[in-house]
Structure 1
Amino acid sequence: MPSKAISAVYLVLWVICCAVESAEDPYMTRALKLMSETPLIDGHNDLPWQLRKQFNNQLNKVDLNTLNTTHTNIPKIKEGRLGAQFWSAYVPCESQYKDAVRQTLEQIDVVHQMCQKYPETFMFATSSQDITKAFSMNKTASLIGVEGGHSIDSSLGTLRTMYQLGVRYLTLTHSCNTPWADNWLVDTGSEPSQHNGLSLFGKQLIVEMNRLGMLIDLAHVTVAVMKQVLDMSKAPVIFSHSSAYTVCPNKRNVPDDILRKVNETGGIVMVNFYNDYVTCSKTAKLSDVADHFDHIKEVAGAGIIGFGGDYDGVTRLPEGLEDVSKVPKLVAELLRRNWTDEEVKDALGNNLLRVLRKTEMVRDSLNGMSPDDLPIPYEEVKNSCRTSYGYPNTDDTSAGSINPLSTLALLLTGTLQALVALSP
């Protein structure tokens, strides 16, 4: 065959191959349509921590349009159709009793800086209304979640201050106990329980978070804490980045009985993409993540499911979900598994919007309730890095035990607040 004819054949074959490769995947087409109608709201992204690790939060030294050492940058956000993101203000447990509050404030600050530096991409958000507004403007609503109760240094005043700075959820623990709550490692047997769940101050904190309108995040806590909070919180809870324990029996995941309780109380479980929590191994595929979505839907319904990728906070991600840009593929996979349009839209963002709106309604219903100004007993937080100013029978160099009357007041106040929280 003449060379020109051979070339023509190759050209035809190439055109056919290109046509086949570029043929639209009907599930992806449908996924992108749904994502244009409902914001994808992700519960947890650790880009702020990467900005600290790689640049010490010096945003002048980085361009999020070209950054290529993270799972998240602006082009990936656009390709991934990210409608709203809870950016994690995370600092390690090593900072507990030291400079955790300062470091957390710096992480909150860097999220504000991101929004100020890239206003065409990010809109700072603190409410359900802000999320819908940002989505209508084709911007990514940027909310803040503080990951770890050690970040507030056992201070309700610090909690309130962070709320005023825009923080809209607190993960009660990370991977260490606080003076008022047990972390998930207790359930592995690798750490002892200190509180059998929550201490009395921990229960005070739940009441105050309800009053503020701050989402309670139960990722990283023990099952005992999960149950206590689900029983007492007037507002629905979130798991910002946790998966299904039955699919992968890692203690960071959520057992079936808790999934059902989350359904009963109107909360949400936002599925984590970390391989170790997806397959309990170092490797995973996109389909394995979809298995968690399917299981949660089967056990407790599509009304409690969300996305909580944990991008830039983990070292291993499933094949097909390597960065933020890939999330539409997971949406298409759910559609391929016969999820309805409404179920997908619920998981994309409607479930989280419902939870946030309900939390805001609880806040508004409690607007006549005074801020809780009863401090944690000094004996529960006494350490070499903490002063004792304001506590009775103590001074800055020698901290004694708290006054018995203060202890009685603590017990009475905690009981009254629990009754308020449990009242219809």
Structure 2
Amino acid sequence: MADLQDDLHTGAEAGELDGLSVPPVTEVLPPQPHAPVSDPDDEPPARAHAVLAAHPVADGYSGLPWALKHLPWYDLELGESAVETDVPRLREGHVGALFWSLHLPEAIAGDRAVGATLEQLDLVRTVVRAHPEGLRLAHDAGQAIDARNCGRVAVLAGPAAAAALGDSLGVLRSLHALGLRVLTLTGVSWASGAGLTRFGEEVVREMNRLGVVADLSGASAETVRRTFAVSKAPTLCTRSAARALRPHPANLPDDLLVELGAAGGLCMVPLTAEQTGPTVRDVADHLDHVRTVAGPQSVGLSGTYDAGTAHPLELGDASCYPRLIAELLRRGWDESEVALLTWGNVQRVLRGAAFTARAAQLRRQPSTATIAELDG
């Protein structure tokens, strides 16, 4: 925990202007030096590796921190068979960035949730620091690109559970200062089946001011729609597929997919058998559907590795992304569409959150509101 205290700081922040819209930035990485150039005449597996060499995967959800917490010893750079993610497999899968989940078991709440989240943030920093040749901590889109250009995998902290705030905007600011960049708006009184309360709306506005992205996976339709209305920054669904294809409660119905696309949000389809189906073709069906309904700028990927879930055939660990991209290429996806899916859409959301934060802090001071004042 001492590392957390050393890193806690209050830097200059910027904010959001009412009425300002985030410019549609779609940035992808240029091909890396000596990367193979894709050839339309190649077989899809070879083309998949070529496309991913230029446009790596930004993975929306990894449960690695909690998995590592229970291992007595590990070496992610050498390779670690006890987990589904390590540096060799990330490189084989052409993963350039991934979000490390700070979610907690449901039994942990209140002050214990705050403390457990701080411990996980400390673990994230410790793990990254112990693997400097493979991993690098990143806080924004530019740092993710810098890490990739240096041959490292960028690690972004989040999503965390809303319970980690302890119903305190001061805790939110502290978690952001320690690196948190995504917060899931479920499982608390101010973001429930009834939607956002007044305090919940204030949380979203403060997240906008800081640059913390809202994750709406598993949130009620009322919370999703109210967040779209309140937030000036793009939102994520870090683990949501198409409910029209598979009726899982975390999957999005078509009407919400349409609204997500209109709001500039991003639906990150999880590679889990429970939500998408047992085969790589099932996952590709969901990606096709989300792209059609929400738009090509609103679909992304979420490995959901090391989160205690079963994965589709041929997608068992973080090295398997080329198999999925090869299936999409067989279906007629072109390189520009794959580039948005793997990297460009996440970059857009991160840059949108940063733009909104810079604008918001020009007009808004840190909020001192409490849940007792607004919802009492």
> In 1, are the aligned partners of 2:239 and 2:250 still within 8 Å (CA)?
no
Checking the alignment, whether the CA contact within 8 Å between 2:113 and 2:163 is kept in structure 1 is yes
Equivalent residue, structure 2, for 1:298: 292
Structure whose alpha-carbon radius of gyration is higher: 1
How far apart, in 1, do the equivalents of 2:79 and 2:212 lie?
34
1:224-254, Cα deviation, whole Å (9 max, x unpaired): 1111111221011011121111111111101
The one-letter amino acid of 1:351's match is N
The CA RMSD over aligned residues, in Å, is: 1.6
Tell me, what secondary structure is at the counterpart of 1:351? helix
SS in 1 for 2:71: helix
Identity of aligned residues (%): 35
SS at match of 2:101: strand
Match status 1:44 vs 2:61: yes
Matched, 1:120 2:137: no
Cα distance per residue 1:199-225 (max 9 Å; x no partner): 111111011001111111001211111
Residue 363 (structure 1) aligned with residue 354 (structure 2): no
CA distance, structure 1, for counterparts of residue 265 and residue 307 of structure 2: 23
What is the CA–CA distance in structure 2 between the aligned matches of 1:250 and 1:203, rounded to whole Å? 27
1:421 alignment partner in structure 2: none
With the length of structure 1 as denominator, give the TM-score of the two structures: 0.76
2:156 maps to: 143
Q: Which residue of 2 aligns with 1:53?
A: 70
C-alpha deviation, 1:102, in angstroms: 1.0
Look up the match of 1:204.
202
Counterpart Cα distance in 2 of 1:70 and 1:297: 31
Q: What do the CA deviations read for 1:138-195 (whole angstroms, capped 9, x no partner)?
A: 210110103311111111111111100111110112xxx312111xxxxxxxxxx4xx
Matched, 1:178 2:166: no
Contact 1:147 1:172 in 2 (8 A): no
Question: 3-state DSSP class of the match of 1:54?
Answer: coil
- 1:422 match: none
Q: Is the 2:117–2:160 Cα contact (8 Å) retained in structure 1?
A: no
Of residues 325, 339, 345, the one that matches 1:331 is: 325
**Shift of residue 275, structure 1, vs aligned partner:** 1.1
More helix by share: 1
Matched, 1:275 2:273: yes
Q: Which has the higher contact order (CA 8 A, sep 6+)?
A: 2
In structure 2, the residue matched to 1:164 is: 177
Query: Which consecutive unaligned segments of at least 5 residues does structure 2 have?
Result: 1-40
1:80-112 per-residue CA deviation (whole Å, 9 max, x = no partner) reads 111001011121121112411111111111111
SS across alignment from 2:61: strand
Native 8 Å contact 1:85 1:143 kept in 2:
yes
- Tell me whether 1:154 sits opposite 2:167 in the alignment: yes
Q: Aligned partners of 2:201, 2:70: CA distance in 1, in Å? A: 34
Choose from 280, 293, 298 the match for 1:286.
280
Paired residue secondary structure (1:244):
coil
Candidates 50, 74, 77, aligned match of 1:33 = 50
Q: Give the paired residue count.
A: 334
Runs of 4+ in structure 1 off by over 3 angstroms are none
1:358 is displaced (CA, Å) by: 1.1
1: distance between equivalents of 2:305 and 2:177?
A: 26
Distance, in Å, in 2 between the alignment partners of 1:110 and 1:25 is 43
Q: Hey, what does 2:20 align to over in structure 1?
A: none
In the alignment, the residues of structure 1 paired with residue 338 and residue 157 of structure 2 have an alpha-carbon distance, to the nearest angstrom, of: 24
Using the size of structure 2 for normalisation, the TM-score is 0.86
- Partners of 1:243 and 1:292 lie apart in 2 by 6
Cα deviation code 1:48-80 (max 9, x no counterpart): 01012334xxxxx22222321211112211111
Task: In structure 1, give the amino acid aligned to 2:254.
Answer: D
Task: Select 1:62's aligned residue among 64, 74, 79.
Answer: 74
For structure 1, the residue ranges without an aligned partner over 5 or more in a row are 1-23, 56-60, 183-192, 378-406, 412-424
Would you say the 8 A contact 2:264–2:298 is kept in 1?
A: yes
Preserved contact between residue 273 and residue 289 of structure 1 (Cα < 8 Å): yes
- Give distance in 1, aligned partners of 2:262 and 2:128: 36
